[in-house]
Amino acid sequence: SNPEMQKRAANAVRGMVESDHNPIISIHDHGAGGHLNCLSELVEETGGLIDLDKLPVGDPTLSAKEIIGNESQERMGLVISDEHIDTLQKIADRERSPMYTVGKVTGDHRFTFKSETTGAKPMDLELAAMFGSSPKIVMEDKTIDYKYEGISYEQSKLNTYLEQVLQLEAVAAKDWLTNKVDRCVGGRVAKQQCAGPLQLPLNNCGVMALDFQGKEGIATSVGHSPLTALIDPAAGSRNAIAESLSNIVWAPLKDGLQSVSLSANWMWACKNEGEDARLYAAVKACSDFAIDLGINIPTGKDSLSMKQKYKDGDVIAPGTVIISAGGNCNDITQVVEPVLQKDGGAIYYINLSNDSYKLGGSSFAQVLNKIGNEAPDVKDAAQLKNAFNAIQQLIKEGKIQAGHDIGSGGLITTLLEMCFADVNLGAKIDLSALAEADSVKLLFSENIGLVFQAEASVEASLEAAGVAFFKIGEVSSSATLEVTNANENFSFDIAHLRDVWFKTSYLLDSRQTGNGLAKVRYENYKNQALSYKFPAQFDGKKPVVDESKPRPKAAIIREKGSNSEREMANAMYLAGFDVKDVHMTDLISGRETLEDIQFIGAVGGFSNSDVLGSAKGWAGAFLYNEKARVALEKFFAREDTLSVGIC
């Protein structure tokens, strides 16, 4: 993978797309199947001839088959008319994005690879043979009823079980992972993983703004349930979809559930006895459930050879579908986080599964080294849809202050996580109304559900919508979670359990962070709660720009590999500048002289992939290219100029 090359290619494409007239007729990425898949699908309605000699090759020993089918990354294929090729070539050269004109649309409904130098045609097929009605394949398999051992446990060990569950990688803090990267690159990240004064990675819904000015964005979430799928493949599919929805529901979507589209990524060990039958059941359940919900699954991927062979036996991965949900968020400022507010109202619970509480396929079962024989399911798509849209409406009305899904770790983990992200925060919970006498089952089952904090007026709204809900508690200012279930009472120390939950992250982080810094992070992460403190004179208003006067001009200078040019351009525009995009190729070629520029901003990122020491390599591009060097020297020699550099 070469993200720098990917950025160059994307910039070249964007240069065409953002023109007054977009001349790109069709575009496709290179993925599985390489040139064969990408280029053939571009011309599947017409036919095309590809000159094998024009395809870029780094290894002259490659055969025609290897050239046609190799899956090198960061490549795109597109169809464009002859009159626009020169324009695209100029843009690609400016971005230093290699571009090759490799063929033409023919209209003969054939797809051909031909070497113009030798005349050889390693491939010449009718499109009907490639994209027509493919022969039906009848696969035979038999359903195997797997029987897993039931789960036995002791009620008296609940606290021990809880600490074990909180340390599972799937349940524990993901701080070791979220700290690997800058979570605000691009300037349009409206909701990232971290939440609350302690900035802990708790958000299961991500939101990207569509632009720098508006309130619309794209919300995304993920759902999967591989262990319940071992017990019941159909239930695993329904749980995966429902989990993705219980994560994305906290972002206000323009048309509620109707806004959501799903992507299904199937990972299965096909062609092993019983697995094809399980996959069929899982796919059918996924399709039926999505249809019942009224949402689509327009795309997906599959990896159907999830089997590893060893000398002493084979290992088959549990069949899994990863559901990615996406939807149009119409107000990025209203996204709800899983952080209880001390004055935000009561705590409510909705059981979206409409199923009895079951421990099969749960994190609790995992710590006991069991799978279980009964998995929770989602019994009623209509009720799930209704509850989803009802919660959406309450979010849009500003009535929900905090919200979290019930997923890995069960209800107890959800309640704890909603208390983790702040100090001196806890809750008093009474689960007696849920009518489950087994407290272990009630607290650790992973039935899909929601926990949220809201003002009392939501009760009338939910009742009117026909949504079954339970008021289960209140927020407290002591770092204790007190839980009552009928005659049983439990008290959990938030600070202690937060450390337990964070410990796995610390241990993983210690493997990638040197000098004992992971331990320093572990000992300090909860000691510096953040709060916004604006200067007294700050009124939040932008300086007024006098539009009757000419704006000064700013140039955003970038090199191949640079990032953040768009957010800097936006910042300069808001500050009152007219902004010009300047690539180093503009300065090197002399197309840009900076003579009309008063302010330059050199953006951050990894110029030249840091191979040349980043800034040193970029400096060399000025020092060793006469026109670029002279333009910069003349700019700084003037008295009416300023500059800024971003790291």
Task: Read off the pLDDT of residues 99-144 as tens digits, 9 standing for 90 and up.
Answer: 999 999 999 999 999 999 999 999 999 999 898 777 788 999 999 9
**Residue 74 pLDDT more than 90?**
no
H helices of 58-152, in order, are 64-69, 85-94, 127-131
As a whole number, mean pLDDT of residues 6-10 equals 92
pLDDT digit string, tens, across residues 502-560: 999 999 999 999 889 999 999 999 999 999 888 999 988 887 888 888 999 999 999 99
Nearest C-alpha neighbor of 378 from the set 289, 309, 291: 289
For the chain, how long is the longest CA-to-CA vector? 87
Q: What is the pLDDT of residue 514?
A: 86
As a whole number, mean pLDDT of residues 246-253 equals 99
- Cα–Cα distance for residue pair 90/87, rounded to 1 Å: 5
Q: What is the pLDDT of residue 98?
A: 95
Tally of CB atoms within 10 A around 532: 5
**Residue 159 pLDDT more than 90?**
yes
Domain 159-509 in this protein, CATH class: alpha beta
**Residue 392 pLDDT more than 90?**
yes
Nearest C-alpha neighbor of 320 from the set 445, 230, 243: 230
Q: Which residue has the tokens 């009338």?
A: 460
Whether 159-509 shares its CATH topology with 553-645 is answered no
pLDDT digit string, tens, across residues 350-362: 999 999 999 999 9
- Cα–Cα distance for residue pair 566/568, rounded to 1 Å: 5
**Residue 2 pLDDT more than 90?**
no
- Cα–Cα distance for residue pair 142/274, rounded to 1 Å: 5
Q: What is the DSSP letter of 253?
A: B
| Main-chain dihedrals φ then ψ at residue 302, nearest 5 degrees | -150, 150
**Sequence spans of domains, the chain:** 3-131, 159-509, 553-645
**Residue 399 pLDDT more than 80?**
yes
Q: What is the DSSP letter of 53?
A: G
Cα dihedral sign for 412, 417, 422, 423? Answer: positive
pLDDT digit string, tens, across residues 603-630: 987 888 888 776 788 999 999 999 999 9
pLDDT digit string, tens, across residues 218-245: 999 999 999 999 999 999 999 999 999 9
Judge contact between 221 and 248, C-beta under 8 A.
Answer: yes
Q: What is the pLDDT of residue 615?
A: 79
Q: Which residue has the tokens 């690159």?
A: 185
Judge contact between 231 and 371, C-beta under 8 A.
Answer: yes
Residue percentage of the chain with pLDDT more than 70: 100
- Cα–Cα distance for residue pair 90/98, rounded to 1 Å: 11
Please compute, for residue 330, the number of CA atoms within 13 A of its CA located in the half-sphere on the CB side: 13
Q: What is the pLDDT of residue 614?
A: 67
- The mean pLDDT of the chain is 95
Q: Which CATH code for domain 3-131?
A: 3.90.650.10
pLDDT digit string, tens, across residues 14-65: 999 999 999 999 999 988 889 999 999 999 999 999 999 999 999 999 999 9
Matching CATH number, 553-645, of 3.30.70.920, 3.40.50.1000, 3.40.50.300, 3.40.50.880: 3.40.50.880
Judge contact between 200 and 505, C-beta under 8 A.
Answer: no
Dump strand ranges (E) for 32-139: 48-51, 76-80, 103-105, 110-114, 123-126
pLDDT digit string, tens, across residues 437-490: 999 999 999 999 999 999 999 999 999 999 999 999 999 999 999 999 999 999
- The pTM of the full predicted model, rounded to 2 decimals, is 0.91
**Residue 9 pLDDT more than 70?**
yes
- Indicate the SS3 state at residue 181: coil
**CA dihedral of residues 104, 108, 110, 111 (deg, nearest 10):** 0
Tally of CB atoms within 10 A around 80: 17
Q: Which residues contact 434 (CB under 8 A, 6 or more apart)?
A: 349, 351, 442, 470, 472, 485
- Cα–Cα distance for residue pair 243/248, rounded to 1 Å: 9
- Cα–Cα distance for residue pair 498/419, rounded to 1 Å: 9
